[in-house]
Amino acid sequence: MEHRWDKVLFTGCPRVARVVMAAAVKHLTPVALELGGKCPCIFDAVAGRRNLQTSVNRVIFAKWSSCAGQACIAIDYVLVEERFAPTLIKLLKSTLKRFIADSDQMARIVNGRHFQRLSNLLKDPAVAASILHGGGLDAKNLSIEPTILLNPPLDSAIMTEEIFGPLLPIITVKKIEDSIAFVRARPKPLAVYAFTDSAPLKRRIVEETSSGSVTFNDAVVQFGVDTLPFGGVGQSGFGQYHGKYSFEMFSHKKAVLRRGFLVEAMLRYPPWDEQKIAMMRHLFRYDYVRFIFTFLGLRR
């Protein structure tokens, strides 16, 4: 950042992003930020056993596979109706046992500092009491068992900071529509995910929430679609890339206007009398008929 760049793209956490932006001020370098955040997953009562199982498979893929939740677009927490929560939790547990038989099949935490950070999230007694599944920690191998929590305190660190790891809080709401207000009351995420068959709920999520992207009935896969712009909004960042959007973001749209000398309107030059002022007023209002009448010295 000591050098003079045309543009800088930073992906990471808000803390470092503030340092990058502060350094960019020296040269007035434009910056694009991709910061992640707490990406919610709204899980409606999906109809049909097959569709429900597929939805659970996709939630597990988006939270625990590949990098154990250490991705900016990973599901951070799930919102579900109270009455449907037991069904979802039971299916998550059974599917996890089938997909991830032992800890060797799980990605490791990237380093000791992040392992300690994630461990600290679980040290809060109220948070530890909400663990329904997993919670095992292996500091030697930097491994954390896939962990499901039910209704940890909303003011706890696990619900106010981006988790970026294999811990999944499940938050219950009275009605699934209440999840919209829950998401709106928090910083704008990089992505909102929703598993639902309800067209009205889908419409409300798109119209009433703000996020970098919205994905229905799947998660994380939007990252691989290069015809969609990828980027955040608000605290989750700004600037969009992928596919043609990368080209546009890193290109300067230079405007070039060319004119000839054949036509010259003296209206733009002083002195300005009442007629010129009236003609300019008509032009600014796109009232071309009155402009012509005034130009010809006629009244309309």
How distant is the alpha carbon of residue 120 from its chain centre? 25
Q: Which one of the listed residues 13, 39, 41, 72 is annotated catalytic?
A: 72
Quick one: CA torsion of 199, 201, 203, 204, rounded to 10 degrees?
160
CB 182 within 8 A of CB 81: no
Say how far apart CA 64 and CA 252 lie, in whole Å: 39
* CA-to-CA dists, residue 15 to 33, 76, 183, angstroms: 12, 19, 22
Instruction: Give yes or no: 72 in active site.
Output: yes
Q: What is the DSSP letter of 105?
A: G
Catalytic-labelled residue, pool 34, 81, 145, 162: 34
- DSSP string covering 182-238: HHHTSPPPSEEEEE---HHHHHHHHHH---SEEEES--SGGGG-TTS-B---GGGEE
Active site residues: 34, 72
